[in-house]
Structure formats: C-alpha cells, structure tokens
C-alpha cells in the first residue's frame, strides 16, 4: 500500500504521556505514509498556562516528535500548531475575563504562526468550543480568536484546521475567513461527518462518513483524531484506521476518491506533494 500516499490529516502524538513516535510506526506498518500531527492541548504537555511561552514549549515538543515520526514513515509528517479552543473555558474558570483569555490565546496563535513562517509547521490550528457555551462573551471571544487565526493564516500563506461544534453548515465561518484574506479552500473542518458547506471537510474515518464523502465529487481529507492517551489507547480511532479504510474504500470502487483525499486535496489545501515526498 505504500506505493501510493496515505495521509492521516489529524492525529496527536504525545511523547510526554503517550506512545509518541511509536504510534506513527504503527501507522506506517499498516501502510500509512504521511501524517499531520496536531499539538495536544497545552495542559496535557506542560505546566499551567501562565504566559505565552507555555505555547512555545508545547509547540517545540510537537516539532520534536514530528521529526521522530518522519524517520519511520515512507513519506513524512508535518506539525499543525495552535491553541485548543476549549482553553478559553479553562482560563475563564481560573479567573480570566473572556477578553483576557482571548488575548492570551491570540498571542499563542501568533507563536504558532512564527513556527509556520520559520518552516517547521505546515498549518495553524484554531476553532471555537465544540460544547454549549452559556456566556455570550465567551462565545464572542472564541469567534474573535478563530478569526485572528484566519488573519494569521492569510499573512503566512498557510491553511487553518478548525476544531468546532458539530454540523455540516459552516458557510459563515468560510465567509469570515475570506473576509480576512484566507481562501475557504484553506479552511479545514476537523472531525467532519461527511461533506460540509464552506470549509474543506476532514472526515473522521468511520465507514458511513467516508462513504458519504467518497460518493461525492468535492475535495475531502481523512483523519483518525487519534489522541495518544494512555488511559484511552484507541481513542478516537487508532493509528491503523486510515490505511485500513483506504484499503476498504479501494475495494469498494472508490479509487479516484482516494486520490482526491490523499494527493489532490492535500496539494490544494496545504500546498504539499504527497507523491513527491513519498518518492524521496
């Protein structure tokens, strides 16, 4: 299966608490070739948030494990760095105002943009809470954080992956990105259950969700959202899942859709050549 690229667009590798690059090796053994590795939320990897340097430390940990992952892949891995949107609730619970939490999270995104501009990182991670938020000020501040990520991505020329609430209509979010100079095809909706309106869907590798995406003609990506959590070793899906689903989809006749997900869409969204990096 390594004759053609197989990309997991969103998973986590945790060298502090989890398996780290060992999980990437499991992905490779199953036929996977390329990874986009999202930093885990900062509170899993470092001490409590006190200032912006905590984000830098988190990003450095992720950069290092991505280098280790690349060493075991036939292709390569890239970091996608940013600030988990659920941090705003933690900060507010700790006594920050929504505005203060917003400012700190935006500063963290600016550090992530530095990693993109300097070369190690491929894209930025942002979004808004995936759970109900009772405080309108928290929701507004979260949207401001996300829109700041759009501005930074536009300035650096990179894509942004979004962690948001569920659903399939994110047209307004795509319009917000375009208003800030970021094309909607560079906005990726992480953990999509199939096609979505607005951004590019990164489809969770469940069979029903993947068939819904593969049956259409729109660009999409595939992901596991593997958490690398020792207390939940297979959560959300294990590292072998995307290669296994690619094999199954090919057997079901979706060969062209697999090229869309693993060659065409990564080039369109991130500007990466998964075929050339596989040959290298």
pLDDT tens, 20-69?
Answer: 999 999 999 999 999 999 999 888 777 677 789 999 999 999 999 999 99
Q: What integer pLDDT is reported at residue 84 of this predicted model?
A: 96
pLDDT in tens, 146-160: 999 999 999 999 999
Q: Which domain, by its residues, includes 133?
A: 7-279
Structural domain includes residue 50 = yes
Asked if 31 and 3 count as a contact pair (C-beta separation under 8 A), the reply is: no
Q: What integer pLDDT is reported at residue 64 of this predicted model?
A: 98
Structural domain includes residue 170 = yes
Say what the pTM is: 0.96
Domain tally, the chain:
1
Structural domain includes residue 1 = no
Structural domain includes residue 2 = no
- The single residue listed with the structure tokens 């988190």 is 58
The pLDDT averaged over each successive group of 10 residues in the chain (280 residues) is 86 95 98 97 77 92 98 98 96 95 97 96 98 96 98 98 98 98 98 98 98 97 97 92 98 98 98 91
Entry field: residues in the chain: 280
Q: What integer pLDDT is reported at residue 232 of this predicted model?
A: 87
Q: Which helix (DSSP H) or strand (DSSP E) does residue 183 occupy?
A: none
Q: What integer pLDDT is reported at residue 175 of this predicted model?
A: 98
Asked if 45 and 60 count as a contact pair (C-beta separation under 8 A), the reply is: no
Residue 249 CA to residue 256 CA, distance in Å, equals 10
CATH number, position 32:
3.20.20.140
């Amino acid at each position: 299966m390594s004759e053609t690229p197989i990309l997991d667009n969103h998973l986590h590798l945790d060298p502090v608490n989890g398996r780290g690059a060992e999980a990437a090796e499991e992905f490779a053994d199953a036929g996977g070739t390329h990874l986009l590795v999202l930093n885990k939320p900062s509170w899993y990897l470092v001490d409590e948030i006190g200032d912006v340097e905590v984000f830098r430390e988190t990003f450095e940990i992720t950069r290092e494990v991505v280098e280790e992952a690349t060493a075991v892949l036939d292709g390569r891995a890239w970091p996608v760095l940013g600030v988990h949107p659920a941090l705003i609730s933690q900060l507010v619970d700790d006594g920050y105002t929504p505005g203060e939490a917003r400012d700190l999270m935006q500063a963290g995104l600016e550090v992530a943009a530095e990693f993109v501009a300097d070369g190690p990182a491929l894209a930025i991670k942002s979004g808004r809470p995936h759970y109900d938020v009772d405080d309108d000020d928290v929701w507004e501040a979260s949207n401001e954080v996300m829109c700041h990520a759009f501005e930074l991505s536009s300035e650096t020329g990179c894509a942004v992956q979004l962690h948001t609430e569920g659903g399939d209509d994110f047209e307004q979010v795509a319009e917000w990105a375009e208003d800030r100079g970021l094309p909607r095809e560079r906005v990726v909706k992480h953990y999509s259950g199939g096609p979505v309106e607005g951004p590019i869907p990164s489809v969770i590798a469940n069979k029903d969700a993947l068939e819904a995406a593969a049956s259409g003609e729109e660009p999409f990506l595939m992901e596991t959202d593997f958490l690398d959590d020792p207390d939940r070793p297979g959560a959300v899906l294990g590292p072998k899942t995307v290669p296994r689903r690619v094999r199954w989809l090919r057997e079901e006749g979706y060969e062209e859709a697999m090229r869309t997900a693993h060659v065409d869409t990564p080039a369109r969204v991130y500007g990466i050549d998964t075929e050339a990096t596989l040959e290298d």
